[in-house]
Amino acid sequence: MRKAGAALRQMGGATALLGARANLAAPSASDAVSAIAPAGARHVSLATVKLRMRSVGNIGKITKAMKMVAASRLRGAQEKMTTSRGISSPFASLLGDFPSAQSDSTTVVPITSDKGLCGSINSQIVKFTHVLGHVTEESGSKLNYMIIGEKGRAQLTRGKEAPLITNVVQDAFKATPTFAVASQMADLVLATGSGKSQILFNQFRSAISFKPTIATLLTPETLEKTAGENGLQIDQYELEEGIKSEFLQDLFEFQSACVVYNAMLENSTSELGSRMQSMENSSKNAKEMLSKLTLKYNRTRQAAITTELIEIISGASALEAKK
């Protein structure tokens, strides 16, 4: 019994020494993962990789589900957007489009989304808002901002535009925008009392393409002045003198609601298309990362098994040699 105990103690010492040599001889099997685990704790490194694999797999499932939801909503939103273009486009032919018209006061209305994970549509609108505000200030017009969307509020309230923000509308895109909601937004724009309002939004082109666009709204007084300077004769339409001003005011209010309605639908559709594309890219990245982590896990596991086999064989050989 004493001899057997001594042999086992010797075998344990030899096993520990051979195990240490094996670890020193091949440290490259799990460099990235074993660096965060305690020395000699091989199973901890495997558990770490497995936990990360599970996290990446869950993220991939979420991004795939978000892509499917955005794709299912995109078709209906695109149909409503196309219909809204037929309402707002005739106003440009009837009253003209004068983005550079001069006015004593100007309201810039950037339309952004309430949710993220939709690519660069919000950051582009914010960049164009900075440029448009700078150009407006240089023209000598009094400037103020009305922001639609949480993402625009979060970015613009931290910049130089913050003191000029008169109104912020959030949760406007909880559901697909309706004409009633757009009319309320238009009333808020008209309440600023500016002679010119510029709606900044993303115009939808395709599921992977959208273009920042400016729609300009001019009050009847500013419109008549600008139209005369640009050769557009509003007087060519036969209107009675007593109702002309009232008619133009009603037309301006209806135009404002139609333009805001189209802008909100255009931006909402662009958001869905951009989110679908972003989630597709994220799902691809998650799949590639999961493949790399699986390979790393298998290599680390194989290295651990090989090391244990070497320890067992070396210990058995030492025991045989002792006999």
Domain assignment present for residue 99? The answer is yes
Q: Is it the case that residue 18 has pLDDT exceeding 50?
A: no
66 located within any domain: no
Same domain, residue pair 274 and 231: yes
**Assessment of whether the complete model's pTM goes beyond 0.85:** no
Is residue 79 domain-resident?
A: yes
Instruction: State whether 109 and 255 are in the same domain.
Output: yes
Neighbour-count burial for 172-209, b at 16+ CB within 10 Å, e otherwise: bbeebbebebbbebbebbbebebbbbbbbbbbbeebee
Average pLDDT over residues 45-60: 90
> Does any domain span residue 70?
no
pLDDT of the residue at 15? 36
Alpha carbons 29 and 47: distance in angstroms, whole number: 15
pLDDT at 100: 86
Query: Which tens digits make up the pLDDT trace of 115-157?
Result: 988 988 999 999 999 999 999 999 899 999 999 999 999 999 9
Domain end call among 262, 279, 296: 279
Instruction: Domain count for the chain, please give it.
Output: 2
Please state, as a whole number, how many other Cβ atoms lie within 10 Å of the Cβ of residue 134: 12
Same domain? For 82 and 229 the reply is: yes
Q: Is 242 exposed, middle or buried (0-12, 13-18, 19+ CB in 10 A)?
A: exposed
- Integer Cα distance of 271 and 115 in angstroms: 9
147, 163: one domain? yes
Residue 194 belongs to domain with CATH number: 3.40.1380.10
Instruction: Supply the range of the domain harboring residue 8.
Output: 2-61+281-322
Q: Label the pairing between strands 196-206 and 209-218.
A: antiparallel
Residues 290 and 269 in one domain: no
Q: How confident is the model at residue 9 (pLDDT cuts 50, 70, 90)?
A: very low
- Of 17-21, 124-128, 206-210, least confident by mean pLDDT is 17-21
- 234 pLDDT above the threshold of 70: no
Q: Say whether both 287 and 252 belong to one domain.
A: no
Shared-domain flag, residues 274 and 263: yes
Looking at the structure, tell me whether residues 53 and 99 fall in a common domain.
Answer: no
